[in-house]
Amino acid sequence: MYNIRFQSQNNEFEPVLIKGIPAGLSIAEVAIESDLYLHHNCGLMCACSSCHIYVNKGVEFLEGISDREEAFLERANEPNEFSRLGCQSVLLDGEGYLEVTIPNQDKL
Ligand code: FES
């Protein structure tokens, strides 16, 4: 099980800690199921860059980045070394703590 602290890049919502998340879910799925707004224009299919997030802590608990994800990340707004696509950030078997920043959702 995982605990993930979500925060908003531009304070659209107060930081929130989601607890007890099972492996196998993506960060995008967790955010959406927790009513945290995150664009997902292609339906979580790794075919856009709208679910771009920053994984500030705990990236080691996620499946590795694919060439396809990398290509779409290059088209994201303000990518940096913490950037991932939320729908491709799938939690591995195990347990841990992650910190995720959701970028400004107005820019898309
Ligand atoms: S929702 Fe389109 S790549 Fe994640």
Write the pLDDT tens digit of every residue in 46-103.
999 999 999 999 999 999 999 999 999 999 999 999 999 999 999 999 999 999 999 9
Secondary structure of 14-46 as H, E, C letters: CCEEEEEECCCCEHHHHHHHCCCCCCCCCCCCC
> Which residue out of 26, 38, 45, 70 has the highest number of ligand 1 atoms within 8 Å of its CB and is therefore the one to mutate?
45
**CB of 18 sitting under 6 A from ligand 1:** no
Task: Report the separation in Å between the CA atom of 52 and the middle of ligand 1, taken as the mean of its atom positions.
Answer: 8
In angstroms, what is the span from residue 86 Cα to ligand 1's centroid? 7
State the average pLDDT over residues 25-41.
96
> What is the number of other CB atoms lying within 10 angstroms of the CB of residue 35?
8
Domain layout of the chain by residue ranges: 2-51+59-92
Q: For residue 55, give the 3-state DSSP assignment.
A: strand
DSSP letters of 86-98?
A: GGG-BBPSS-EEE
Class of CATH domain 2-51+59-92? alpha beta
| Cβ 42 under 6 angstroms from ligand 1 | yes
| Per-residue tokens: 45 | 């299919």
Q: pLDDT tens-digit profile of 54-64?
A: 999 999 999 99
64 exposure class (CB count in 10 Å sphere: 0-12, 13-18, 19+): exposed
Q: How confident is the model at residue 106 (pLDDT cuts 50, 70, 90)?
A: confident
pLDDT of residue 36: 95
Mutate to test the pocket of ligand 1, among 39, 40, 65, 108 (most ligand atoms within 8 A of CB): 40
The pLDDT-based confidence of 107 (bands split at 50, 70, 90) is low
